[in-house]
Chain A
Amino acid sequence: MALSNTKAKADRSKKARPKATPSRIQSNIESNQAIVNQAIVANTIIHVAETEELTAADLPTGEISVPLNLWLAEKDAIKARNAKIAVQIGVDEEPEDLVNDLADVDMIVLPFVSHVDGQSYSHSYKLRTRFGFKGEIRAIGDVKFDQLGFLTRVGCNAFELPETENLETALRAFQEFSEVYQPSADSGVSIFSRRRAVH
């Protein structure tokens, strides 16, 4: 496929997905607290980083999220844990790969290695508006106060921030804008439709 010239992409047909790329989290992420639906809550989820050797047998006990590759390779074993199912979609992966499994998935995790890489914004948008995912979408990694507003607009409703961030302060991010111009996952209505309704 021509796209492979421009970027390493998951090839759905051959299932030859690259593992543990620099675009994915390099080690497990674990935070004591998270912001879920604009409230601070205690958190015990471990986001398991991908390695070449990772198998379902290696997974820690308790609440976890797994890399997309592991989910696709070992769905049954992961389901057999009888725990909530949370799957990570890295910036270089595609939400399309998870579309057939959405009914099994409770949470989709979007890991940010760098917050300036905005691909996950489009992933979240598609998951909500195109694939109708209703579960939790959680952004983790390099996600701070100043990203929460727009991430919320594209459909994320949960966040884990780095330890250095003050979550109380970050809650202000949800109050910054009371108006928007364009539709996204939060509101299907553009400013032009709204003005049209008034006229």
Chain B
Amino acid sequence: MYQYDSVDKTIVKERVAQFRDQVNRHLNGELTAADLQPLRLRNGLYMQIHAHMLRVSIPYGLINSTQMRTLAHIARKYDKGYGHFTTRQNIQYNWPELADVPDILDELADVEMHAIQTSGNCIRNISSDQYAGVAKDEIIDPRPYCEIIRQWSTLHPEFYWLPRKFKIAVTGATEDRAAVQFHDIGLEVVHNNANDIGFRVYVGGGLGRTPVIGKVIKEFLPREDILSYCDAILRVYNLHGRRDNKYKARIKILVNAMGIDRFREEVDAEWQFQKDGDLKLHDTDFDTMAAFFPPPAYEDLSDGDERIAKWRNLDSRFNAWYDNNTVEHKQAGYRIVNISLKEHAVAPGDITDDQMDAVAEIAEQYSFGEVRSTHEQNLVLADVRQSDLLEVWKALDAQNLATANIGSVNDMICCPGLDFCSLANASSISIAKQINEKFTDFDELYDIGEVKLKMSGCMNACGHHHVGHIGVLGVDKKGEEWYQLTVGGDASNNAELGARLGPAIAKDKVGDAVSDILHVYREQREDEERLLDTFRRVGVDPFKERVYAETN
């Protein structure tokens, strides 16, 4: 993975010193809380209901074992012994003290990590495919491009006070696991007919209050132009995006107001000024960056280790885990292992300090010392030898990290909601528990198959509910917590927003409603259909009828 050189190290260390100075000035009364606020946000520090929350950046979801141990150490020393992985592949701590934060950032800097731009109206962490470099359907490894964009966007002096936050995602595979069509800029690394590498560029996608699917602004952008073109998009946005209403300030609103063609013209006009300037990248830049992401030293192995079939026969739990939590690898003899952070009765994405240490250890022993975080709030060991799977499973199982529910209805995406977030209308963690409790029978869970259930505690949609196969949105009805359900959302290549099921549902009935939806699916499905496929065929009505049957 990428290793800091002296420039990266200097920037991150100087950034910590800058923030330490800001905190000191604040504590001495020289910097008001109001003036500190946007500065601390740009260092990942929020003020939540109970305490501060610190969001640490995990660029495109890549962490090594040393970094993971530091994350565990921070959870232990400065927090209440756990951390929370977010839908943007970052990690959050819910209980740090303001005065400790500069020390935390210093400890992070020592292992080449930071919290820069994880919040605030600036360019946020670049997110990507959690299977980058190992997925069987990968065309081009997106990670070198992610890192180039990360560096360009870090502490960009001109784009630090944007109208609103700005998110960029990159994918390089056939199946889009990075939801690029739901980002302010979405980049798909592609080849053109001449086999040159470039990007299909989407702009103006996003969730939140006004969910919009991104529009193609460039079918093929040569890779050497990626920074100058992003720079042009950002300048047009910085100059023309609305600032009078924060709900209308995202780039998607500007793109919709201008129309994509007019917006494209404006960007192209801006781009001409700098297209061939210093931001133009050279082949050597990509080669230098790609050298940081070499394939690990794989052994020459083959698929079809007989022991695996034997283990699967002998142990139904291992079998279920193998089926649900592991994925094909492009290298023979290896497999991708998902670590479920959706254990029963634990808030989705939460992980304890001991579990983090254990993951670091397991990664070191079995997966070249690397871990990835996913936007589905799980972790991934990307390069596990098939012959090690039983050992890895045992080690994870001992830490309650082998719940065989990846991709199932229990593998929910869920924002912190009312338990932690000051913007929330409703609790989301307790709903996750309620749904979990409905589906304790794993055979039933496996029979239902792939369901992406996504939940947000308010319209800001941090839990991506619009693109859940089942989406749950917390709403406030006269001070009570109610839940609006949607069905049929999809964040992948066939991007689709979920259809509203009907009126909001009372808090204690959400689990029943989800269960009703899945009953209808099981009755109506044909052949190998997933919930999403059945929904696309039969539409929303049968689901609606069942869910609201009792209330009618």
Residues of A at the B interface (CB closer than 8 Å) are 2-3, 5-7, 115-119, 121-122, 125, 130, 144-146, 149-151, 153-154, 166, 169, 172, 176-184, 188-196, 199
| Sampled A-B contacts (7; CB under 8 Å) | A5-B257, A117-B243, A125-B158, A169-B30, A178-B10, A181-B152, A183-B278
* Segment of B81-89, B281-289, B390-398 engaged in the interface with chain A: B281-289
Closest CB-CB distance, A189 to chain B, in whole Å?
Answer: 6
Q: Which of B240-279 contact A (CB under 8 A)?
A: 240-243, 253-254, 257-259, 262, 266, 273, 277-279
> Contacts A183-B279, A192-B282 given; 18 further ones with Cβ under 8 A?
A3-B240, A119-B238, A119-B239, A121-B161, A122-B158, A122-B235, A130-B273, A145-B25, A146-B35, A146-B39, A176-B18, A178-B10, A178-B14, A179-B11, A180-B157, A181-B7, A184-B158, A195-B288
Q: B221 contacts the other chain (Cβ, under 8 Å)?
A: no
A190 and B35 within 8 A (CB): no
A121 and B155 within 8 A (CB): no
A176 and B14 within 8 A (CB): yes
A128 to B14 alpha-carbon distance, docked (Å): 27
A118 and B238 within 8 A (CB): yes
Contacting B151 at CB < 8 Å: which of A116, A149, A181, A196? A181
A180 to B12 alpha-carbon distance, docked (Å): 10
Closest CB-CB distance, B160 to chain A, in whole Å?
Answer: 6
Q: B332 contacts the other chain (Cβ, under 8 Å)?
A: no
Contacting A150 at CB < 8 Å: which of B157, B241, B242? B157
For B285, what are the chain A residues with a Cβ–Cβ distance below 8 Å? 192, 195-196
For B134, what are the chain A residues with a Cβ–Cβ distance below 8 Å? none
Q: B162 contacts the other chain (Cβ, under 8 Å)?
A: yes
A177 and B155 within 8 A (CB): yes
A121 and B160 within 8 A (CB): yes
Contacting A179 at CB < 8 Å: which of B14, B38, B254, B282? B14
A193 to B278 alpha-carbon distance, docked (Å): 7
A105 to B157 alpha-carbon distance, docked (Å): 25
Contacting A122 at CB < 8 Å: which of B11, B15, B239, B282? B239
A125 to B262 alpha-carbon distance, docked (Å): 23
Given known contacts A121-B160, A181-B154, A188 and B278 CB-to-CB distance under 8 angstroms: yes
Closest chain B residue to A149, Cβ basis: B157
B121 and A196 within 8 A (CB): no
A153 to B156 alpha-carbon distance, docked (Å): 9
For B25, what are the chain A residues with a Cβ–Cβ distance below 8 Å? 145, 169
Closest chain A residue to B17, Cβ basis: A176
For B148, what are the chain A residues with a Cβ–Cβ distance below 8 Å? 192
For B160, what are the chain A residues with a Cβ–Cβ distance below 8 Å? 118, 121, 150
Closest CB-CB distance, B126 to chain A, in whole Å?
Answer: 13
Number of residue pairs A-B, CB distance < 8 angstroms? 128
Residues of B at the A interface (CB closer than 8 Å) are 5, 7, 10-11, 14-15, 17-18, 21-22, 25, 30-31, 35, 38-39, 121, 148, 151-152, 154-162, 227, 235, 238-243, 253-254, 257-259, 262, 266, 273, 277-279, 281-282, 284-285, 288
Closest chain B residue to A117, Cβ basis: B243
Closest CB-CB distance, A109 to chain B, in whole Å?
Answer: 18
For B39, what are the chain A residues with a Cβ–Cβ distance below 8 Å? 146
For B156, what are the chain A residues with a Cβ–Cβ distance below 8 Å? 181-182
A192 to B278 alpha-carbon distance, docked (Å): 9
Closest chain B residue to A123, Cβ basis: B239
Closest chain A residue to B254, Cβ basis: A6
A142 to B493 alpha-carbon distance, docked (Å): 45
B35 and A144 within 8 A (CB): yes
A196 and B157 within 8 A (CB): no
Contacting B11 at CB < 8 Å: which of A125, A153, A177? A177
For A118, what are the chain B residues with a Cβ–Cβ distance below 8 Å? 158-162, 238
A136 to B379 alpha-carbon distance, docked (Å): 52
For A119, what are the chain B residues with a Cβ–Cβ distance below 8 Å? 238-239, 243
B242 and A7 within 8 A (CB): yes
A5 and B278 within 8 A (CB): no
B278 and A179 within 8 A (CB): no
A125 to B282 alpha-carbon distance, docked (Å): 24
B121 and A116 within 8 A (CB): yes
Contacting A190 at CB < 8 Å: which of B152, B158, B243? B152
Closest chain B residue to A195, Cβ basis: B288
Q: From B158, B161, B277, name the one whose CB has the most chain A CB atoms within 10 angstroms.
A: B158
A123 to B127 alpha-carbon distance, docked (Å): 30
B151 and A154 within 8 A (CB): no
A130 to B273 alpha-carbon distance, docked (Å): 8
For A169, what are the chain B residues with a Cβ–Cβ distance below 8 Å? 25, 30
Contacting B258 at CB < 8 Å: which of A6, A151, A182? A6
A183 to B17 alpha-carbon distance, docked (Å): 23
Closest chain A residue to B262, Cβ basis: A2
For A151, what are the chain B residues with a Cβ–Cβ distance below 8 Å? 157
Closest CB-CB distance, A172 to chain B, in whole Å?
Answer: 7
B258 and A181 within 8 A (CB): no
For A192, what are the chain B residues with a Cβ–Cβ distance below 8 Å? 148, 151, 281-282, 285
For B17, what are the chain A residues with a Cβ–Cβ distance below 8 Å? 176
A189 and B35 within 8 A (CB): no
For B161, what are the chain A residues with a Cβ–Cβ distance below 8 Å? 115-118, 121
Closest chain A residue to B39, Cβ basis: A146
For A180, what are the chain B residues with a Cβ–Cβ distance below 8 Å? 11, 155, 157
For A149, what are the chain B residues with a Cβ–Cβ distance below 8 Å? 157
Closest CB-CB distance, A141 to chain B, in whole Å?
Answer: 14
A115 to B155 alpha-carbon distance, docked (Å): 16
B157 and A199 within 8 A (CB): no
Contacting B21 at CB < 8 Å: which of A172, A194, A199? A172
A153 to B17 alpha-carbon distance, docked (Å): 19
Given known contacts A7-B242, A153-B157, A196-B282, A146 and B121 CB-to-CB distance under 8 angstroms: no
For A6, what are the chain B residues with a Cβ–Cβ distance below 8 Å? 240-242, 253-254, 257-258
A125 to B279 alpha-carbon distance, docked (Å): 15
